[in-house]
Amino acid sequence: MSDMGSHNFPAARPLPEVDEESEVPVAEAPASPASTPKRSEGHKIGEVIEIAGSSSRIVLDAAVLASLADHDDATVKMAGQVGSQIKIRVGATWLLANIRTQRLYEGQSGLIIAEIDFLGEGDEERLTGHIYNFRRGVTRYPVPGSVAYAVTTADLKQVYASDGRANVEIGMVYPTDDIRGALYVDAMLGKHFALLGSTGTGKSTSAALILHKICDLAPEGHILMIDPHGEYSAAFKGNGKLFDVNNLALPYWLMNFREHCEVFVQSTGDAKQTDCDILAKCLLAAKAKSQAAQGIAKLTVDSPVPYLLSDLTTIIQNEMGKLDKSTNSAPYMRLKTKIDEIKADPRYSFMFSGMLVGDTMADFLSKIFRLPAEGKPISIIDVSAMPSEITPTVVAVLSRLVFDYAIWAKNEPKRPVLLVCEEAHRYIPNDDVGGESSVRDILSRIAKEGRKYGVSLGLITQRPSDLAEGVLSQCGTILSMRLNNDRDQAFVKAAMPEGARGFLDSIPALRNREIICCGEGVAIPIRVSLDTLIEERRPASEDPVFSELWREHGGEEEIIQRVVKRWRSQGR
């Protein structure tokens, strides 16, 4: 293998028919480790046969790869495998590339053709030959015939070494046991991130781990998390504020006109437009009666001004009695009945209570956005006990408040906010799954424009293929756990940057609590075995152990009684 650079490998595509008589490159038996001189370059494993922009091809010697399988260095031991890295010298720099695919070189059993994606380049230390000062991108490509070397753990340590940027360590880089995998916080949050993984892969625990690390790094941060299952309250009781239907107190008048329509207007088709027109007129009149509206020159139906629901129903009633109205009384009755119904329903009291009429907007924004954070930088909004028909509207209001606050605070000292949305496919569904909704539109808008205003979006989902098209591609950092569904894998593949494609084959084969990180938040794509969270920092999302729990018995009557009582009182 030592004179591999002298072999003349034919072009890989199309591959020529080769018979046994013809002259073909024959892989040399590797020299025994004892006789191999120590060289600074490392282990030669192949050479470049084709260069094509981001994706190129090399030929590998299977015998040499086999001889490295027992190497002491865990990284060298993985040399040549899909998802592993190689290095190629170009002048005084080392190019780093990722192996994407492999196949046998037809007609020559000892050789393997591999497609590679270039990741970046680093300078060479003169004494050791190791890589340092690694950066993304390629300034100069190698030429066919250049030798490919196995990457060592020492090389990877230099590549993953923090370059002074703020970072959080989340686990060990696979396959090493001493290189820490880190995420660059500013790059990850500045361009949004997505955490993906099938149910049961440890997604909630991974999300909790990453958010805990960010909270530890920035105890005066501003993080808002939508928790649809009530899992995260247990994890963040020490360093976060927890809100649910009992203490959220979200004033109904913070809704904009579109959100009002989603809650109060139940009709469809032409009748819906009629109802919305009536609601717009009456809502503006109700807001104009408010004391808080005094002195506002440009009052609109979207202005977040406190008003009385009783004023709104009275105005609707008065409009219905007018003889010159353009329609019959049915739309007015529909609106009034719906508003009265919501006012009387105790399930909606967290939002439509008569106690929420005061002008509490500043206090509400302060407590929800953690301004000031007071050492508790994360707000967990538990929406699990809310009526399912209003949950999307609540998420829409909270998300829009984050975005609107950022817009109107543009000339103030910057206070960036991170909005984390668990079960994101519920709220940003694609066209096949869901129609128009305010929550989908505002989250899509934050994905596209949020970073200009200091709003970061974190999407957590088990069904990336159900997300609205384009939202995942707006996420600069993708953190993928195991995905079992072919459609989801294809969707993630389309969103992943070129250099990470080699990792995609391992997505279905990842173990629990293993994660592939690629994009802006990491130096190069990495596979990480995540740290274990201490018990009190874990979310309440453990899978039930049927074999043990089904052996337990006793006290079932009392359990039923307590559950029925909670059920009837809707958790109060």
Higher pLDDT, 101 or 192: 192
Is 222 in contact with 384 (CB distance < 8 Å)?
no
Rg (CA), the chain: 30
For 527-551, write each residue's pLDDT tens digit.
888 888 888 888 876 677 888 888 8
Give the pLDDT mean for 55-70.
Answer: 86
Tell me what pLDDT residue 500 has: 64
Residue 256: alpha-carbon gap to chain centroid = 27
Lowest-confidence segment of 100-109, 148-157, 409-418 by average pLDDT: 100-109
Tell me what pLDDT residue 571 has: 57
78 secondary structure, DSSP code: T
Lowest-confidence segment of 140-144, 384-388, 537-541, 559-563 by average pLDDT: 537-541
Tell me what pLDDT residue 22 has: 39
Question: Interior CA angle at 201 toward 195 and 204, to 5°?
Answer: 55
Instruction: State percent of the chain over pLDDT 90.
Output: 11
Tell me what pLDDT residue 3 has: 46
Tell me what pLDDT residue 497 has: 66
Higher pLDDT, 493 or 447: 447
Give the pLDDT mean for 451-470.
Answer: 88
Instruction: State percent of the chain over pLDDT 70.
Output: 87
Tell me what pLDDT residue 398 has: 93
Q: Locate 364 and state its tokens.
A: 């509400």
Higher pLDDT, 127 or 331: 331
Lowest-confidence segment of 84-88, 500-504, 505-509 by average pLDDT: 500-504
At residue 403 the predicted structure's pLDDT band, cuts being 50, 70 and 90, is very high
For 53, other C-beta atoms within 10 Å of its C-beta total 10
Tell me what pLDDT residue 498 has: 59
Lowest-confidence segment of 90-104, 174-188, 315-329, 382-396 by average pLDDT: 315-329
The topology (CATH level 3) of 44-160 is Elongation Factor Tu (Ef-tu); domain 3 (2.40.30)
The topology (CATH level 3) of 182-251+356-542 is Rossmann fold (3.40.50)
pLDDT surpasses 70 at 456:
yes
Tell me what pLDDT residue 16 has: 39
Give the pLDDT mean for 79-86.
Answer: 82
For 1-33, write each residue's pLDDT tens digit.
444 444 444 444 443 343 444 334 444 444 444
Give the pLDDT mean for 485-510.
Answer: 75
User: What DSSP letter does each residue of 419-474 carry, written as one string?
Assistant: EEEETHHHHSB-TTT----HHHHHHHHHHHHHHHHTEEEEEEES-GGGBPTTTGGG
Q: Are strands 417-422 and 455-461 parallel, antiparallel or unpaired?
A: parallel
Mean pLDDT, all residues of the chain: 81
Tell me what pLDDT residue 32 has: 42
Q: Are strands 193-196 and 477-480 parallel, antiparallel or unpaired?
A: parallel
Q: List the chain domain ranges.
A: 44-160, 182-251+356-542, 254-348
Tell me what pLDDT residue 126 has: 73
